[in-house]
């Protein structure tokens, strides 16, 4: 059976995504005292069974469709994971967010708006500069000279304030999509914690309220 070029491209993208999925789901800590039981492959299998396609492909497809169907020129990227007792942000999330911001900006000419803890805004801004993106304060200026820019937004650590701030931010930025990368989320008891069970709740921006606000606004979330 002959396939269209679109089908061929989809197959190529799916194959590439399959390779990336395998790379990012390697159980790095399987022999470490930090993990008595390696759970990465179990978690991956559960997610894969839900979506039926490589997770990277599913994420890309949602992002592309969100940007394609929206008049918005911005995408929200949530990042920042505080490491106690130093209370400094870990490295892979913010660096990954800056790299992702550059990729999205180059691919679709949208403005990435990075959301993180207020204490980490300046550091995130420096990372974006190293990624080749200038900083801008306004999200809605779509002049050509502003295309290679991004913005950084600090988000509240207070749970009650977060609910109001989330609705306001989604309305103000009107994102085409929302992406969370390396970001703490509360467990069933409302506690934000690290992989080894340290309570991070006092230090974590309550961006899960943003995820819920985005869903209410029919904004794709990844």
Q: What is the CATH number of the domain that holds 162?
A: 3.90.1640.20
Strands 82-83 and 134-135: unpaired
Closest alpha carbon to 40 in 24, 54, 61, 53? 24
33 shares its domain with 80:
no
DSSP code, position 115: E
- Would you tell me how many other CB atoms lie within 10 Å of the CB of residue 79? 29
87 shares its domain with 113:
yes
136 shares its domain with 82:
yes
Residue 63 inside a domain? The answer is no
Number of domains in the chain: 2
Please confirm whether the linkage preceding 85 is cis (ω < 30° from 0).
yes
Q: Which of 58, 84, 101 is the last residue of a domain?
A: 58
Give the separation between CA 67 and CA 62, rounded to whole angstroms.
9
What pLDDT score was predicted for residue 217?
95
Closest alpha carbon to 136 in 101, 187, 87, 92? 101
Q: What is the mean pLDDT of each run of 10 residues along the chain (222 residues)?
A: 60 94 82 66 93 94 92 93 82 93 94 94 93 74 63 95 95 95 91 87 95 96 95
Q: Which residue has the tokens 């467990």?
A: 187
Q: Which of 58, 84, 104 is the last residue of a domain?
A: 58
Q: How many residues does the chain have?
A: 222
Percent helix / strand / coil, the chain, rounded to 5: 50, 15, 35
Q: Between 92-108 and 121-130, two packed helices, what is the crossing angle to 10 degrees?
A: 50
Residue 185 inside a domain? The answer is yes
What pLDDT score was predicted for residue 89?
80
- Would you tell me how many other CB atoms lie within 10 Å of the CB of residue 211? 19
CA of 49: how far to CAs of 35, 54, 94, in Å?
A: 24, 10, 29
180 shares its domain with 112:
yes
What pLDDT score was predicted for residue 80?
92
For residue 37, the enclosing domain spans 1-58
125 shares its domain with 209:
yes
Residue 26 inside a domain? The answer is yes
| Burial zone of 62 (CB within 10 Å; 0-12 exposed, 13-18 middle, 19+ buried) | middle
For 67, list phi and psi in degrees, rounded to 5. Answer: -70, -40
What pLDDT score was predicted for residue 148?
83
42 shares its domain with 81:
no
């Amino acid at each position: 059976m002959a396939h269209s070029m679109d089908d061929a491209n989809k197959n190529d993208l799916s194959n590439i995504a399959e390779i990336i999925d395998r790379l990012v789901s390697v159980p790095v800590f399987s022999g470490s005292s930090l993990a008595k039981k390696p759970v990465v492959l179990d978690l991956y299998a559960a997610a894969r069974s839900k979506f039926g396609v490589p997770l990277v492909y599913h994420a890309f497809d949602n992002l592309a469709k969100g940007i394609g169907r929206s008049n918005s020129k911005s995408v929200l990227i949530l990042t920042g994971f505080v490491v106690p007792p130093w209370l400094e942000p870990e490295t892979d999330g913010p660096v990954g967010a800056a790299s992702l911001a550059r990729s999205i900006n180059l691919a679709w000419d949208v403005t990435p708006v990075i959301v993180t803890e207020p204490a980490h805004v300046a550091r995130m801004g420096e990372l974006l500069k190293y990624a080749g993106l200038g900083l801008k304060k306004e999200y809605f200026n779509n002049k050509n000279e502003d295309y290679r820019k991004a913005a950084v937004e600090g988000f509240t650590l207070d749970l009650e304030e977060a609910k109001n701030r989330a609705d306001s931010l989604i309305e103000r930025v009107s994102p085409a999509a929302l992406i969370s990368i390396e970001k703490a989320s509360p467990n069933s008891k409302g506690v934000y914690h690290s992989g080894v069970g340290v309570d991070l709740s006092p230090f974590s921006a309550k961006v899960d309220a943003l995820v819920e606000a985005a869903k209410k606004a029919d904004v794709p979330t990844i």
